[in-house]
Amino acid sequence: MNLWDLKQHQSGTMKAFSEEMPEAYRHRLQEFGFQKGELVTCLRQTPFSGPKVYQVGDSVVSLTQDLASVVAVEVSE
């Protein structure tokens, strides 16, 4: 499962970035708190199926599908 699959208000534990994630973006996302083992919550889907809004730690970040879909997360039910 990846970040983009998270539904509104659903949380998941961050697992890994896939190979397709450009390195510079991987670094930036890590700086934003997207690190292995962190709890990521999808706060909002947005109009016109635009970028989604995620919270991780103290940051709230908006990602488009091309980035969010290459971040693996695990949802524990």
Partner 1 sequence: MNQVLILGKPNSGKSLLFNRLTGANQKVANFPGVTVEVKRGVSGSTMYVDFPGVYSLQALTTDEIVAIQQLKKAVADKDISVVLCNLDATRLERSLVLGVQVKQLADRHGLPVVFSLNMMDEISGSGLKLDVEGLSKDLKSRVIAISAKTKMGLSELKQALDAEATSGKRQLEAPIGEANDQVDFESNSGSLLRAKELAKKYGPNSSVILKNQNRIDHWVLSDIWGGAIFLVTMLVLFQSIFSWASPLMDGVESAIGNIGSLLTPLLPEGIASDFVNDAILGGFGSFLVFVPQIFILTFIIGLLEDSGYMARAAIICHKPLSLVGLSGKSFVSLLSGHACAIPAMFAARIIESPKKRILTIMALPLVACSARLPVYSLLIVALIPSVTFAGGLVGLQGLAFFALFVFGYLVAGIVTGILSKTVYKEESDAPFLLELPPYRLPAVGPLAQRSIKSSWAFVKEAGAIIFAVTIVVWVLGYFPNGGEDLGSSWLASVGQFIGPIFEPIGLDWKFGVAVLASFLAREVFVGTLGTLYGIEGADENIAGLASNLEASGLTMGSGVALLVFYAIALQCVSTVAVMKKETGSGVLPIVTFVAYSVLAYILALAVYQLF
Residues in touch with partner 1 (CB under 8 A): 22, 24-25, 27-33, 35, 43-51, 53, 55, 57-64, 66-67
Is 60 or 72 the residue whose CB approaches partner 1 more closely?
A: 60
H/E element, 29: helix 23-31
Please report how close the Cβ of residue 26 comes to partner 1 at its closest, in angstroms: 10
User: Which one, 50 or 74, has the nearer CB to partner 1?
Assistant: 50
Beta bridge partners of 74: 13
Neighbours of 23 (CB within 10 A): 8
Sign of torsion, CA 33 36 39 44?
positive
The distance of closest approach from Cβ of residue 72 to partner 1 in the complex, given in angstroms and rounded to an integer, is: 17
**Residue 5 or residue 51: which is nearer to partner 1 going by CB?**
51
